[in-house]
Amino acid sequence: VIRCKAAVAWAVGKPLSMEEVEVSPPKAGEVRIKMVATGICRTDENLRQGLFPNSDFPIIPGHEGAGIVESIGDGVTSVKPGDKVILLCVPQCGKCIFCLNPESNFCLKAHMFETQCVLPDKTTRFTCKGQQIHHFMWVSTFAEYTVVPDYAVAKIDAVAPLEKVCLLACGFPTGYGAVINAAKVKPGSTCAVIGLGGVGLSVVMGCKAAGASRIIAIDINKDKFPKARELGATDCINPQDLKKPIHEVLIEMTGYGADYTFEAVGKLDTLAAAMTSCNPSTGMCIMAGDPPAGSMLTIDPMLLLTGREWKGTVLGGWKMRDSVPKLVSSYLEKKFNLDVLNTHTLPFAKLNEGMELLRAGKR
């Protein structure tokens, strides 16, 4: 058993509490990892607020992490102690109907089908003050050590800087893949991106790489516009400065609506605006944000009748165990600028300060 620090969410709505936890050794088919770096994502805040589905408290959040294998359980052959790895919040078991489908990146072991608040044997590897602590999507990267199933971890190049490539666990592949894999944006297209956090900026990068001729970036925080322009945005709009709804403005700007719209906020009103803003015949709206669990969106079905497409994507459509090592290699080859997404670097003890930066829209 390893004793280490972890950020525990004891109850819905409570601040994260830095605690000493006990992390049990990995059982068969499991890997224990020494965490080196973790990103902070809006989904972690949604979990803390009780807006993430099927979550049990107390729980250790975090799902965007990279580290070094400390030990392995029986039967694990994909990694060994000392390997650098990225943890996968959407696993790839390699055996289920979705993993075997080349057009799917989902997995029947993922949280939407099977709880990942406990490991596959229905127990946890975390305890604190004599109490069982739950896992978050199996990975729980807000801990100095964590234990995951071997199919929720990917070995990466030994030279990769973990404090940089940890963002390849969620934010970047979600946004970039929404363009490349889900929408398959065509050169010369017009794209609109609602929300310029880590996912939205990754969407902008993807649109630029795909050859979009016009990239309209939308956010209520104008401080995000310089970075969006640096990454390829041709227009930046703050809806708070407008006298008309954003969907009406986008339709006026583009003639009949954008070829592709991307929602990277996770709110119902922005999702409805993205849906309404795309071309009524051939437009495609991609949902890349993380809406509150149980929320319901009402739309006019006539929006779809004329040919619009509305599509969701989880982690940008990448089969993560296969794709993450390749994304790391592409980063090392400077095929995309991942570093621009790293706005702050904080010691682990200041994780709550990082969460506050997220809530304030400063990262």
316 touches 176 (CB < 8 A): yes
Query: pTM, whole model, 2 decimals?
Result: 0.95
Helix pair angle (246-254, 268-277), 10° resolution: 20
Average pLDDT over residues 318-338: 96
How much is the pLDDT for 362? 66
The conformation of residue 215, written as its DSSP 8-state character, comes to E
Q: How confident is the model at residue 311 (pLDDT cuts 50, 70, 90)?
A: very high
How much is the pLDDT for 139? 97
List pLDDT tens digits, range 176-218. Answer: 999 999 999 999 999 999 999 999 999 999 999 999 999 999 9
List pLDDT tens digits, range 331-352. Answer: 999 999 999 998 899 999 999 9
Q: What is the mean pLDDT of the chain?
A: 95
**Domains of the chain (ranges plus CATH)?**
2-171+317-351 (3.90.180.10), 183-312 (3.40.50.720)
- Higher pLDDT: 293 or 109? It is 109
Nearest partner of 262 among 199, 173, 327, judged by Cα: 199
Asked if residue 294 has pLDDT above 90, the reply is no
Nearest partner of 215 among 173, 266, 250, 174, judged by Cα: 250
Asked if residue 361 has pLDDT above 90, the reply is no
How much is the pLDDT for 291? 87
Q: How confident is the model at residue 363 (pLDDT cuts 50, 70, 90)?
A: low
